[in-house]
Amino acid sequence: MCYFSSDSPKTKGYGRYTANEVPVELCSDVIYRGLGFPEWTRGSYQFNSEELQRLGSYLYTMKGRSSNVRNIVTVLERGQEALSYSIMSEVPERRGAFTRAILRLLDQYGLDGVEIAWEWPGTMVKFGGISSDRESLISLLTDLRSALRSRNKELFFFGAVYPKVLRESYRVTSICQIVDYVTLFTFDMRPHTNNVADVHAPMRNRSFETDPNRAKTNVVDGVDTWIDFGCPPKKMILGIGLFGQAFTLANPAQYNVGAPAVGPGEEGQYYYGGYYPYYEVETSKNPSPTCQHVKNLSDFQLCLLIRSGWTLFYDSVGQMPFAVRGNQWMGFEETNSIAAKLDLVQEKRLGGVVLQYVDYDDFWGFCGSRNPLTTFIYQRLRQIPSDIGFAIEWS
């Protein structure tokens, strides 16, 4: 599954990405992420007309390019401390109006399903929520499931792997009984506000992580917790972030994983401070000939602007690479780190993977073939035996 960012057509320069660039031969499903939460107006919910216009244009192109790719849409809450999902889901009449708005959306645009991205229910995190969210979430998903089943549409839930959220915000068994798939937030798990230089999707926690809020916040423990709490592995879709996350080091002499940081790294050409799409990561790193810490250096696909003084290292426990240049520190995904995550998909018999975002891959082919990471993932998934209960079937 491939996320398509609704903002990518507005990205400047070479970062601009449209439905024409989506590798429809590699993605079984493309999730348009997404539409903002609809506005409550006179007893009904209405999606923003300009956003709908962009969605319609995108889908027109996608359906013209492929009749096999399934098209999903995400409904997002934009901004911190958003309460739209909470306010809607606790009132039966509003849940009904929201459900009707989703049905109209799917029917009008011929979509195959919807992803509910409620970040995060409950009151224990800083992004809002109210105490009744844990039960209201189940009521909302139940109403949506009942309505979507009559249309043969699928229901996705975007789920966190933070232990506190899993314990206090979700009824995991109920969620997984209701929805078709849970798309796991197993990327971007180390925010800049922690002021610790770290890779954004470590496979396991490292010895320096003593903060209880970071305990078991990693890919392996996140997947295991969902399974232990009662979610069938075949319903779980592992999220893989095709981007780099940069930090500014407090002291350039301290640059190992876990080093003190003072905030995001310098802003790149295409996205906001501290985040770099893969095509920009791979064109800005310089493998030092004296560095002995990198595993399979040839697989990093570094090219073009690589003569910029970066030195590469590898976090052997987190199983992700990172690069350092002066006071700038960046962790990112590449084929070695992705391979470790795909091994987990096979080991746990998960339903598949979802890429955040497909437009972050090297879609221009700056460094050789186009979409190298997406292609690598596609080929690796095809090698997984089909007799172990995987949800994705390749034709």
What is the rounded CA–CA span in Å between residue 111 and residue 104? 10
How crowded is residue 152: how many other Cβ atoms within 10 Å of its Cβ?
8
Confidence of residue 391 (pLDDT cuts 50, 70, 90): very low
Collapsing DSSP to helix, strand or coil, 259 comes out as: coil
pLDDT of residue 225 exceeding 50, the answer is yes
Confidence of residue 213 (pLDDT cuts 50, 70, 90): confident
Tell me whether strands 243-249 and 352-356 are parallel, antiparallel or unpaired.
unpaired
| Rg of the chain (C-alpha set) | 21
Confidence of residue 312 (pLDDT cuts 50, 70, 90): confident
The full set of domain ranges for the chain reads 2-240+333-388
Token couple for 149: 């089943």
CB proximity list for 384: less than 8 A, separation 6 or greater: 345, 346, 390
- The pLDDT value given to residue 390: 44
Beta bridge partners, 275, equal: 245
The distance of Cα 363 from the centroid of its chain, to the nearest Å, equals: 18
What is the rounded CA–CA span in Å between residue 130 and residue 136? 10
Mean pLDDT of 66-71: 98
Tell me whether strands 243-249 and 328-332 are parallel, antiparallel or unpaired.
antiparallel
What is the H or E stretch that residue 186 is in? none
Mean pLDDT, rounded, of the chain:
89
Token couple for 275: 């985040």
Judging by beta carbons within 10 Å of its beta carbon (0-12, 13-18, 19+), is residue 64 exposed, middle or buried? exposed
Q: What pLDDT digit, counting tens, does each position of 158-179 carry?
A: 999 999 899 989 999 999 999 9
- The pLDDT value given to residue 82: 72
What is the rounded CA–CA span in Å between residue 27 and residue 30? 6
Q: What pLDDT digit, counting tens, does each position of 288-301 carry?
A: 333 333 333 333 33
Angle subtended by helix axes 49-65 and 92-109, to nearest 10: 40
Mean pLDDT of 41-55: 96
147-to-61, 101, 138, 159, 175 alpha-carbon distances in Å: 28, 11, 14, 21, 16
What is the rounded CA–CA span in Å between residue 360 and residue 241? 9
Q: What single-letter DSSP state applies at residue 310?
A: -
- The pLDDT value given to residue 285: 52
pLDDT of residue 20 exceeding 50, the answer is yes
* CATH superfamily label, 2-240+333-388: Glycosidases (3.20.20.80)
- CB-CB contact of 312 with 291 (8 Å): yes
AA identity, residue 29? D
73-to-77, 83, 106, 352, 353 alpha-carbon distances in Å: 13, 20, 9, 18, 17
Higher pLDDT, 121 or 293: 121
Confidence of residue 119 (pLDDT cuts 50, 70, 90): confident
Higher pLDDT, 55 or 334: 55
- The pLDDT value given to residue 110: 98
What is the rounded CA–CA span in Å between residue 185 and residue 5? 15
- The pLDDT value given to residue 295: 38
What is the H or E stretch that residue 147 is in? helix 133-149
